[in-house]
Structure 1
């Protein structure tokens, strides 16, 4: 399991083409992808299971804990991104609720993310 950040403060300002915004890169894909939004309510849980393909879990609201193959739980908040490799066991839990965008893709490139 790897933890990354995509918060505004780790992005880069873009003023090209008369623009004014912050861009925080997330991932690139070269093959079929699935992108979903997951809403975990108070005391919600995504049970311990193996990732079918590489998976990027982007916390967009709330907070919780994640774990990979080990028993150690790591706290995550809005702006954190968790990466699990194919076949890696993992779990997510929250006491207060959490919303996440999940990107699943066999050829997921996360090299542009900023490591925590």
Structure 2
């Protein structure tokens, strides 16, 4: 399991076309990717299972706890991203609820775009 952060301060100011915003890059793929939005209500859980393909969980609202095999739970919140490799056992749970974008693809390398989060 790898933890990343995609906060505004890690982004780049965009001014082309009279724009005025900050873009925090997350990932790029050349192979097909499945992208979805996951909504976990209060006391929600994504049960302990193996990742079928590399998977990136991007928390956009709320907070929760994540773990991999033989690891303690780690608190995550909006602005954090969690990466699990193919075959890696993992679980996500929340007491208060969280919303996350999930990207699954055989070709995910978040370290190319995001900085690792220090626990």
- Do both proteins adopt the same fold according to a TM-score greater than 0.5, normalized to the shorter chain? yes
Instruction: Report Cα offsets for 1:30-72 as digits up to 9, x if no partner.
Output: 1111001000000000000000000000000000000012231
Matches within 5 A, 1:34-53: 34-53=34-53
Unaligned runs of 5+ in 2: none
Report what 2:78 is aligned to: 78
List aligned pairs for 1:9-88, cutoff 5 A: 9-88=9-88
Aligned residues: 116
Q: CA deviation at 1:78?
A: 0.2
- Match of residue 115 from structure 2: 114
Cα-Cα RMSD = 0.9
Contact 1:31–1:107 at 8 Å: present in 2 too? yes
Distance in 2, Cα, partners of 1:79 & 1:9: 11
How far apart, CA to CA, are the structure 2 residues paired with 1:10 and 1:96? 27
Extract structure 1 runs of 4+ deviating beyond 2 A: none
In the TM superposition, what is the alpha-carbon distance from 1:16 to its structure 2 partner?
2.5
Taking structure 2 as the reference length, what is the TM-score of the superposition? 0.94
Q: Report the CA distance between 1:21 and its aligned residue.
A: 0.5
- Structure 1: tracts of 5 or more residues without a match: none
